Structure 1
Amino acid sequence: MSGWWKSSYSSGAGGCVEVNDSVPGFVGVRDSKLGTESPVLLFEPHEIRAFVLGAKAGEFDHLCT
């Protein structure tokens, strides 16, 4: 699976998650620190949409403290 990218908000050596939508009907998510050795979690687009909307609404803000 090629075509991985991560958020422009991600910086430094701490790593981040990377996403990939090159497989029709699925979005892959992996740990950028592990690169190609990272396990890949596959989600359907509606699942990613629910997560992104929740993040935008602040539902996960408590995880950033």
Structure 2
Amino acid sequence: MRRWVKSSYSDGEGGQCVEWAPGYAATARVVPVRDSKDPHGPTLTFESTAWAAFIAGVKAGEFQG
């Protein structure tokens, strides 16, 4: 079973709620991501290197909402 963790960027008010499963990512080398408002909905899976590059870009301010 995957343990899901809500992103620190989620606002806690029901918006922008993204979760990921770090334990699964550490063992499977892929990062599952889902919408926490729809836990039974689809899960996107990214290669861990692609996910790391995306996170680095977010932290660097490359992606604006």
Q: Mark yes or no: TM-score above 0.5.
A: yes
2:21 equivalent in structure 1:
20
Equivalent pairs counted in the alignment come to 61
Runs of 4 or more, structure 1, over 3 Å off, are none
CA RMSD of aligned residues (A): 1.6
Larger radius of gyration: 1
Instruction: Structure 1: give runs of 5+ residues left out of the alignment.
Output: none
Percentage of matched positions with identical amino acids: 48
For normalisation by structure 2, the TM-score amounts to 0.78
Take 1:27 and 1:7, find their aligned partners in 2: how far apart are those partners?
Answer: 13
1:53 equivalent in structure 2:
56
Instruction: Structure 2: give runs of 5+ residues left out of the alignment.
Output: none
